[in-house]
Amino acid sequence: MSDTNTPFRRFWTEFRENKVAVFALAVVVTMILLALFASVVSPQNPYDLANLSLMDSRRPPGFVGSGGYTHLLGTDPQGRDLLSAIFHGLRISIQIGLAAGFVSLTIGTALGITAAYLGGRIEALIMRLVDLQLSFPAILLALVMVALLGQGKAQLIGALVAAQYAYFARTAYGAAKAERGKDYIEAALATPLSGRLVVWRHLLPNCTPPLIVVATVQIANSISLEATLSFLGLGLPVTEPSLGMLISNGFPYMMSGRYWISVYPGVALIILIVAINVVGDQVRDQFNPRLRK
Amino acid sequence: MLGFVIQRFLQAVLVMAAMSVIVFCGVYAIGNPIDIVIPPEATQEIREQTIRRLGLDRPLYEQYFIFIGNLLQGDLGRSFVYNIPVLELIGGRLPATLELVLISVISATVLGVSLGIYAGYRPDSWVSKTIMAVSVLGFSVPSFWVGLILILFFAVNLGWLPAGGRGETVEIWGIGWSFPTFDGLSHIVLPAINLALFKLAMMIRLARAGTREVMLTDTVKFARAAGISEGTILWRHLLKLISIPIITVFGLELGSTLAFAVVTETIFSWPGVGKLIIDSIAVLDRPVMVAYLILVAFLFVTINFVIDLVFALIDPRVRHGAAA
């Protein structure tokens, strides 16, 4: 423990001790990089129909296609190189997961902190609504929202947000409620500082640790939820397949033994979700004061 | 206590009313059902006739009040696609879903509690560690993916079990059930495992946490001091002490499993309500969607209401806190 000067350094020194978590973080970073540079690392542009040939469709891993290169993971029913499709699918899945996660974080935190800060009727109204929503399973809410909003990227994110903001609201409310009662907030409110400033400068920063933990878990959850919805055929349009859509496309061919079309995108999805969860677990342990030595 | 019950009941009614408005308006807003019901080559006359017959020419609020009026009389409208009463359609599919959900939740509870007690009783053995590792997977791996792997492994590669459908059913009280026949049972195994996995992981965690806590209490120490065998302690005392949270979660999970069955039923082409709703969303069969969503909302509101009451009975803090 040499560098303990900034909170971030302290955090990282502790994080580094858990080898599994460091490995998981490396996996997450790698997958994000692969997603970012999908068009560079992929042997083929899977969205360009001119590149696709039906002659190459549903070929097993290792097949050398009409493009002259080896399809390491085989090809899908449209003749896309599966490895390229997975990189691009990863991009869409991560994009949707992050977008839904951040919008839910913003809306949920705003609602939770408003409820805790203002109290009274508004608190009762907001939290009653949030609790009510938490009693319904997220998949059902997302399903209803997709049915109501229709299909498309924005609609899908909307459905995921509607299904998930309540978790953030509950967490932010719990943290803010506890901080609200502490003396430093009372002291800050006694100064001429405006209420808004006290919330921004004092209340909000002290509520962030639990929110970060919930955010990691919920990003993994929204990626998984998006995949589930896409698998059910209720997610994104077919032209730009996410991982869930790729799995769904391959499903009918699984019965005839062409396992790779569904299995490999699924493996990518699971590695991503499990890795995010492992990182999230470690972050939670580090933020939990009860586990501190 | 009576005041609390009335308050909660009114709240439940209010929630149901709000849900019915949201669902009705929302579902009304998507697509144009006229295009689905009426073939494009139909004459203008037939078009108008059908629109009038289905009540689609009236203003939205009027359609809603007609809907609510019919709903209260047990009439949820007719499916646009199947042209039979929605209630009949859903009722015909419900036994399949209930059969699947009940088998999954019950087996997940029995197995999960046993494994969880073991993991809590011997937390350091490698068996317990394996159980816990598997339960982590049960939480984080998406359930549709597990379903695919089950099909790939047991149906395609090994060929031991069928990949979809309900198999042979037996009529009991006029309703077809799969579980009494061997063929039906073989069809139910994979979807039930798929649906049960998440619940299993949760039950293991609950039972393990409870067991670890209870094993340290004086109850267990005194029972041991009195010379009662370990088996009796586990079965007679521990099980009773950890059962309250487990029963609560069992109730809650029954509802959420019903919702999750949507995914499992789609993968295994299980002809239940979940498959019906996915198909209905795809073809915009409005009455079926509205009826399903309202039924599920009703189910959840009822379960929450009952759980609130049970809590209030067990814990006086809840009812006094709410009354104040």
- Chain B contact probe: residue of A232, A247, A249, A271 with most B CBs at under 10 A: A232
Contact between residue B112 and residue B245 where contact means Cβ atoms under 8 Å apart: no
| Among B143, B145, B156, beta carbon nearest to A266 | B145
Whether B180 has its CB under 8 Å from any CB of chain A: the answer is no
Confidence of residue B226 (pLDDT cuts 50, 70, 90): confident
How confident is the model at residue A293, as a pLDDT? 46
Q: What's the whole-model pTM score?
A: 0.78
Query: What residue of A is the nearest CA neighbor of B152?
Result: A254
The tens digit of pLDDT for each residue in B265-317 reads 888 888 888 888 888 877 777 778 778 878 877 887 887 788 777 767 766 66
| Among A146, A220, A231, beta carbon nearest to B144 | A231
How confident is the model at residue A103, as a pLDDT? 94
| 3-class DSSP string for chain A | CCCCCCHHHHHHHHHHHCHHHHHHHHHHHHHHHHHHCHHHHCCCCCCCHHHCCHHHCCCCCCEECCCCCEECCCECCCCCEHHHHHHHHHHHHHHHHHHHHHHHHHHHHHHHHHHHHHCHHHHHHHHHHHHHHHCCCHHHHHHHHHHHHCCCHHHHHHHHHHHHHHHHHHHHHHHHHHHHCCHHHHHHHHCCCCHHHHHHHHHHHHHHHHHHHHHHHHHHHHHHHHHHHHHCCCCCCCCCCCHHHHHHHHHHHHCCCCCHHHHHHHHHHHHHHHHHHHHHHHHHHHHCHHHCC
- Chain A contact probe: residue of B135, B144, B265 with most A CBs at under 10 A: B144
Provide the b/e sequence for B270-305 (b: ≥16 CB within 10 Å).
bbbbbbbbbebbeebbbbbbbbbbbbbbeebbebbb
Q: Which residues of A touch B (CB under 8 A)?
A: 132, 135-137, 139-140, 143-144, 146-150, 220, 224, 227-228, 231-234, 247, 251, 254-255, 257, 259, 262-263, 266, 269-270, 273-274, 277
Fold of B89-282: MetI-like fold (1.10.3720)
- CB < 8 Å to A136, chain B: 259, 300
How confident is the model at residue A100, as a pLDDT? 92
How confident is the model at residue A274, as a pLDDT? 86
How confident is the model at residue A99, as a pLDDT? 92
Mean pLDDT to the nearest integer, B39-59: 72
Whether B80 has its CB under 8 Å from any CB of chain A: the answer is no
Please tell me what DSSP assigns to residue B85. B
Res B116 pLDDT > 80: yes
Query: What residue of B is the nearest CA neighbor of A280?
Result: B140
Query: What residue of B is the nearest CA neighbor of A234?
Result: B282
Confidence of residue B322 (pLDDT cuts 50, 70, 90): very low
- B160 min Cα distance to partner chain A (Å): 14
User: Please, which residues have CB within 8 angstroms of residue B267's CB and are 6 or more apart in sequence?
Assistant: A251, B144, B147, B148, B151, B164, B191, B194
Contact between residue B100 and residue B188 where contact means Cβ atoms under 8 Å apart: yes
- B215 min Cα distance to partner chain A (Å): 22
- A122 min Cα distance to partner chain B (Å): 17
- CB < 8 Å to B278, chain A: 232-234
Whether B300 has its CB under 8 Å from any CB of chain A: the answer is yes
How confident is the model at residue A1, as a pLDDT? 47
**Distance (Å) of CA A285 to CA A15, A18, B77, B158:** 10, 11, 53, 42
- Chain B contact probe: residue of A225, A231, A247 with most B CBs at under 10 A: A231
Domains, chain A: 7-47+56-291 (1.10.3720.10)
Q: What percentage of chain B carries pLDDT values higher than 90?
A: 0
| Among A147, A220, A255, beta carbon nearest to B156 | A255
Confidence of residue B71 (pLDDT cuts 50, 70, 90): confident
Whether B266 has its CB under 8 Å from any CB of chain A: the answer is yes
- CB < 8 Å to A254, chain B: 148, 151-152, 156
Contact between residue A212 and residue A283 where contact means Cβ atoms under 8 Å apart: yes
End-to-end CA distance of chain A: 14
What tokens does B288 get?
């079926």
Q: Taking CB atoms and an 8 Å limit, are A227 and B143 in contact across chains?
A: no
**Distance (Å) of CA B253 to CA A265, B195, B223, B273, B309:** 30, 11, 33, 17, 17
Whether B21 has its CB under 8 Å from any CB of chain A: the answer is no
End-to-end CA distance of chain B: 12
- CB < 8 Å to A266, chain B: 145, 148-149
Q: Taking CB atoms and an 8 Å limit, are A228 and B263 in contact across chains?
A: yes
Average pLDDT taken over every residue of chain B: 77
Whether B262 has its CB under 8 Å from any CB of chain A: the answer is yes
* CA gyration radius, chain B: 24
Mean pLDDT to the nearest integer, B70-86: 77
How confident is the model at residue A57, as a pLDDT? 66
- CB < 8 Å to B139, chain A: 277
Q: Taking CB atoms and an 8 Å limit, are A143 and B262 in contact across chains?
A: yes
Q: Taking CB atoms and an 8 Å limit, are B140 and A262 in contact across chains?
A: no
- B173 min Cα distance to partner chain A (Å): 31
Q: Which residue has the higher pLDDT, A92 or B49?
A: A92
Q: Taking CB atoms and an 8 Å limit, are B293 and A144 in contact across chains?
A: yes
Q: Which residues in chain A come in under a pLDDT of 50?
A: 1, 293
Confidence of residue B323 (pLDDT cuts 50, 70, 90): very low
How confident is the model at residue A104, as a pLDDT? 93
- B163 min Cα distance to partner chain A (Å): 9
- A224 min Cα distance to partner chain B (Å): 6
Q: Domain coordinates of chain B in residue numbers? A: 89-282
Lowest mean pLDDT among B52-61, B139-148, B213-222: B52-61
How confident is the model at residue A62, as a pLDDT? 64
